[in-house]
Amino acid sequence: MTNPTNHMATSDSAGNEKDMEGLRSLVSSCSACPLHETRTLPVFGSGNPSATVMIVGEAPGRNEDESGEPFVGKAGERLNEVLALAGLSRDEVFVANVLKCRPPRNRNPRPDEIDACSSYLIEQLDAVGPKIVVTFGNFATQFVLGTKQGVSEVHGRLFRDVTVSHDGCSASSAVSVYPVFHPAATIYRPQWRVVLEGDMQRLGDIIRKMG
Ligand code: SF4
C-alpha cells in the first residue's frame, strides 16, 4: 500500500491552516485502505492549528466514528482531565490519531493501514509545527518514535530531536516526543492511571521550562 498523498512533507506548510484544510479534504475522501469501507466518518483531528503541544492517539472509536471528531464523550472528558494535569486545555492543543478511520470493533490497527495513513499524520505535524508531541499508547508511540518498544518501557521520558518518518514520508522538522499511557487504557487499570497522572504533571513542568 502506498501513501495516499505520496509525497514528502515540506517546511512550506508549517503552521499553515490552509494546508490543514487541504489535508482535511484529502482525508474526507480517502479510500487508500480497506477501513474506508467500514467507517461512518473519517476523523481528521481538531484543535489549535498552531499548537505548541500536539496529542497523537491511536484510532477513532465508536463515538468518534459517528461524530467525525476525535476524543468525544467519555474519552473526551478523560482527555480534558489529563490535559488539565499538565496545565493544558483542549483548545490549546491539536489532537489527531495515527489512523483516521475506525478499525471494526476497535481492533488494533494493522500495519498496512498504518502505512496507508501515515503521511496524513506526518503532514499534520508539519502543518501544526508543535514543540512537543505527546503520544498516547503503544501504536502512537511506536509510530512517532519509530521504535518497537512499548509505551510501558518509554512513558514519561522526553525524547528530543525526533524526526518523524514512516514509509517514505518524513516530517520537515524535528520535535520532542513524550509518550504516556493511553487515557482510555487506564480507565480499568488504576495502577496505570496513577502513572499517567504523574507523567502528565511532569509534562506540565517540561512545558513550563520550555517557555
Ligand atoms: Fe485513508 Fe487513513 Fe482512512 Fe485508511 S484509515 S481510508 S488511509 S484516511
Q: Give the pLDDT of residue 16.
A: 65
- In this structure, the strands spanning 169-170 and 165-166 are antiparallel
Please state, in angstroms and as integers, the Cα–Cα distance from residue 131 to each residue in 15, 27, 55, 57, 80, following that order.
Answer: 12, 24, 11, 17, 20
- Which helix H or strand E contains 142, and what residues bound it? helix 137-145
How much is the pTM?
Answer: 0.92
Tell me: the pLDDT tens digits for 107-127?
Answer: 999 999 999 999 999 999 999
- Tell me if residue 147 falls in helix, strand or coil: coil
Question: Does residue 3 register a pLDDT over 50?
Answer: no
Residue 188 burial by CB count (10 A; 0-12/13-18/19+): exposed, middle or buried?
exposed
Task: For residue 29, give Cα distances in angstroms to 22, 32, 68, 184.
Answer: 11, 9, 13, 28
Phi, psi of 142, deg, nearest 5: -65, -35
More confident residue, 14 or 124: 124
CB distance 171 to ligand 1 below 6 Å: no
Of the residues 27, 41, 100, which should be mutated to test ligand 1's pocket, given the most ligand atoms within 8 Å of the CB? 100
Distance 203 CA to ligand 1 centre (A): 31
Task: Residue 89: count other Cβ atoms within 10 Å of its Cβ.
Answer: 12
Distance 70 CA to ligand 1 centre (A): 15
Q: d(Cα 164, Cα 123) in Å, to the nearest integer?
A: 10
From CA 93, how far away is CA 53, in angstroms rounded?
Answer: 5
Q: How confident is the model at residue 1 (pLDDT cuts 50, 70, 90)?
A: very low
- Best substitution site from 23, 31, 122 to test ligand 1's pocket, by max atoms within 8 Å of Cβ? 31
Q: Which atom of ligand 1 lies closest to the CA of 4?
A: 7
DSSP string, 25-76: HHHHT--SSTHHHH-SS----EE-TT-SEEEEES---HHHHHHS-SS-HHHH
Q: How far is the CA of 174 from the centre of ligand 1 (A)?
A: 25
Q: How far is the CA of 56 from the centre of ligand 1 (A)?
A: 16
Neighbours of 195 (CB within 10 A): 17
Residue 187 pLDDT class (50, 70, 90 cuts) = confident
**Nearest protein Cα to ligand 1, atom 3:** 101
Q: Give the pLDDT band (50/70/90) at residue 176.
A: very high
